[in-house]
Amino acid sequence: MSGDVFVIAEHRDGAIIDTTYELLGRAKALAGASGGEAVAVLLGSAVAGLAGSLGAAARVIVVDGPGLASFSPSAYQAALVPLVRERQPALVLVANSGSGMDVAAGLSAALDLPLAAYAIDLTVDANGPLVTCQLYAGKILAKVRFTGGRGIVTVVAGSFPADAGAAGGSPPVETVVPAATDERIRFVDLLRPEAGDVDITRETVLVSVGRGIGEQENLELVEALAAVLGGAVSSSRPIADAGWLPRTRQVGKSGLKVKPKVYLALGISGAPEHLEGMRSAELIIAINSDARAPIFSVAHFGAVADLLDVVPALTARLGG
Ligand SMILES: Cc1cc2nc3c(=O)[nH]c(=O)nc-3n(C[C@H](O)[C@H](O)[C@H](O)COP(=O)(O)OP(=O)(O)OC[C@H]3O[C@@H](n4cnc5c(N)ncnc54)[C@H](O)[C@@H]3O)c2cc1C
């Protein structure tokens, strides 16, 4: 076994996705502690040019083949299994994204390596890696160790700062031709969210509302607050599922990832799938009637209160 920490790099439309930088930054720190290197593993077809965006890695392994032109869980697994088996990294870090969860679970099963999912923290001490996983919609935090010291970790977006892993440069690149391919699952089409009336990914202030709003009519109160703050209204998934707001306003795993300067979370519990879309916001303020709501674990400021009391009072105070 080496002390290396592999990071499976995600990319889309010819650019590395931020979560990869979050993982790389942490991989560097972990590899230092385990006596190995942070190694980015880049899969795709003719993607070697992206290695220049992975300067935080000590090395980049480019696994390049036509069968990897678009994401396919079976093709990625077929390409990665022999590589991980041969190189024996101490850890394989994968984003807890839709594709990342497929890759990590497949690798874990094929290599009989333990998998810790929904990780929000990851350190290495004298006893090896220690992973903190957020379970049951964030109501339980589990501290996990790997028997044997090696494992695969899927990390929730926003758990680590991207800055530490975002660097250009020219790391040494090793190109590997996939040892095997598997076309049982073929990529057909990428469905992108429709352009909406408001692009919540570009707003600097988001007033985001969850099931705690109670009734659709109460949305008026939130719209009024967003108006005085010069922001837009976004939501958790149940609000979009109910059709109270368009899907384009949904924040989270199956919605959009936002990074506003201010994110006001009103009546949102803070499930991991929601946090995945907003935990990188610069300032998070939560209002929730339940003091134990997981949203308070990521909020910079919070009030345990009824949003139906606070929102109109805040709007009035701000001059609305
Ligand atoms: C594959 C998958 C993808 C998903 N994708 C997403 C996603 O993209 N985005 C997303 O948001 N979710 C997503 N989810 C759903 C997610 O797991 C949660 O169910 C959802 O985020 C919960 O929404 P909520 O916080 O609005 O509702 P709840 O969890 O019901 O929380 C409501 C909160 O409001 C509080 N509250 C109630 N009344 C008041 C009041 N009067 N004043 C103040 N607070 C009050 C309660 O204390 C509670 O904390 C996904 C789930 C899966 C399985």
pLDDT of residue 201: 87
Q: Ligand 1: does its nearest atom lie under 6 Å from the Cβ of 294?
A: no
pTM summary value: 0.77
Query: pLDDT exceeding 90 applies to what percent of the chain?
Result: 76
Q: Return d(Cα 130, Cα 142) in angstroms, integer.
A: 10
Average pLDDT, the chain: 93
| Confidence grade of residue 194 (pLDDT, cut at 50, 70, 90) | low
Encode pLDDT of 205-229 as tens digits.
999 999 999 999 999 999 999 999 9
Encode pLDDT of 77-110 as tens digits.
999 999 999 999 999 999 998 899 999 999 999 9
Encode pLDDT of 8-37 as tens digits.
999 999 999 989 999 999 999 999 888 899
Residue type, position 21, single letter: Y
- Bridge partners (DSSP) listed for residue 60: 40, 173
Q: Ligand 1: does its nearest atom lie under 6 Å from the Cβ of 255?
A: yes
137 alpha carbon to ligand 1 midpoint, in Å? Answer: 9
Q: Return d(Cα 57, Cα 37) in angstroms, integer.
A: 8
CA distances 85 to 101, 104, 116, 150, Å, are 19, 14, 18, 12
pLDDT of residue 223: 97
Cα end-to-end span (Å), the chain: 62
pLDDT surpassing 90 at residue 73? yes
Q: Ligand 1: does its nearest atom lie under 6 Å from the Cβ of 274?
A: yes
pLDDT of residue 135: 84
Which residue in 141, 311, 287 sits closest to 225, CA to CA? 311
